Amino acid sequence: MVRYLGVLVAVGWVSWWQVLDANADLFGSGANSFEIEFVTIGSPGNPPDADPNPAGAVPYEYRIGKYEISEQMIDKANALGGLGITKDTRGPDKPATSVSWYEAARFVNWLNTTSGSVPAYKFDASGNFQLWQPIDPGYDPNNLYRNKLATYFLPSINEWHKAAYFDPVAGHYWDYPAGSDMVPDGIDFPGDPNFDAVFFDGASNSGPNDIANVGLMSPFGTVGQGGNVIEWHETAFDRTNNFPAEQRSDDGGAWGSAVNVLAGSHTGIGTTPTHESEAIGFRIARVIPEPSARLLLSMGWAGVLGLNGRMRSKRTRSLRVSDCF
């Protein structure tokens, strides 16, 4: 947020609430710093989608990554945190793939602990994934995987599905994450520059596109939830997060997937959390900042704007007086 202060004062016309909606969080330091951009998923209490099973109903606001997590984000977290996360190597802005669910969870924990929050996921001293227990602060009896005091986490199947398919204006779910029931345009030939989503549509790339070059946005403003790479969900495949090693849900399709895998009616697949695939990556989600913090921030920016306006007014009056002589 600090980096926006100079912009706000310099241009004046930027509204304070626009600054509050600047949803990029900064992590790391120096050459190993990076940002993760988030979009806000509002319309709490939305109904579920009929397909699959159903999914998509979320009773609270939250934020989700606009893009998939990239290779350079993993590289920089590894460099600073010694996480030892392995992945494919295609380029810094390619999605990080061949990352297991457990490795994605460790990355999320690093984001939390380096930001002053508690880990979302519990690992013992030997690195084995564990369930949160009633004696643990932040224990949630409805989700034994996620600590409810954590700021960052892997999106649940409901959080992920809502961000991809629900339209808060129209009040319904689209068939595809590009905000349409029309079959999207995919990759018609290798290197095809014109597409709605990165998937097999007569031909396929040799791998995924850069995370910011993946087609049309969802109604909420996410990109790449259909195609490019399959994405891990936090949720167990049976929808009950009560066993550490059970299969996790993942969905969304990859660069070589058929179009039906991108559809909201696709129920995803169950994959063991140790599995590493060149076609599976992930994005993260986070809680909305506390209203009290946002209010204090808004008051602070309002003060800056008021002070800036008074200073400009004084300078203007001074110049007008001097112009008389």
Residue 275: which CATH number?
3.90.1580.10
Mean pLDDT of the chain: 87
State the average pLDDT over residues 214-240.
97
By 3-state DSSP, what share of the chain in percent is helix, strand and coil, each rounded to 5?
Answer: 25, 20, 55
Verify that 236 and 206 share a domain, yes or no.
Answer: yes
pLDDT of 322 above 90:
no
Query: Same domain for 195 and 318?
Result: no
**Which range has the worst mean pLDDT, 7-16, 49-58, 64-73, 228-237?**
7-16
Average pLDDT score over residue span 130-153: 98
User: How far is 121 from 104, CA to CA, in rounded Å?
Assistant: 10
Domain count, the chain: 2
Cα 274 vs. chain centroid, distance in angstroms?
22
H or E stretch at 34: strand 34-41
Q: What is the pLDDT of residue 301?
A: 45
Q: Are 121 and 254 part of one and the same domain?
A: yes
* Nearest of 147, 182, 149, 163 to residue 263 by alpha carbon: 182
Q: Do 311 and 262 sit in the same domain of this protein?
A: no
Give me the pLDDT at residue 315, please: 38
Residue type for position 88:
D
User: What is d(CA 198, CA 225) in angstroms, rounded to the nearest whole number?
Assistant: 10
Shared domain check, 71 and 19: no
Q: Kindly report the CA angle at 66 between 32 and 221, in degrees rounded to 5?
A: 155
Q: Does one domain contain both 150 and 252?
A: yes
Q: How far apart are CA 28 and CA 92, in angstroms?
A: 16
- pLDDT number for residue 22: 53
- What's the mean pLDDT in 178-189? 95
Same domain? For 116 and 216 the reply is: yes
Q: Strands 230-236 and 280-281, how do they pair?
A: parallel
Is the same domain home to 90 and 46? yes
Residues 294, 296: Cα–Cα separation, whole Å = 5
Residues 233, 127 share a domain: yes
Question: Which residues neighbour 95 within 8 Å (Cβ) at sequence distance 6 or greater?
Answer: 68, 69, 70, 71, 208, 211, 224, 228, 229, 281
Query: Which comes out higher in pLDDT, residue 127 or 8?
Result: 127
What is the C-alpha to C-alpha distance for residues 69 and 210, in angstroms, rounded to an integer? 10
**Residue 1 pLDDT more than 70?**
no
* Domain shared by 65 and 119, yes or no: yes
Q: Do 222 and 249 have their domain in common?
A: yes
Residue 15 pLDDT more than 60? no
Range of the domain at 93: 33-289
Share of residues in the chain with pLDDT > 70 (%):
82
Same domain, 41 and 20: no
Question: What is the b/e burial string over 88-104, where b = at least 16 CB atoms within 10 angstroms of the residue's CB?
Answer: bebeeebbbbbbbbbbb
Cβ atoms 73, 92 nearer than 8 A: no
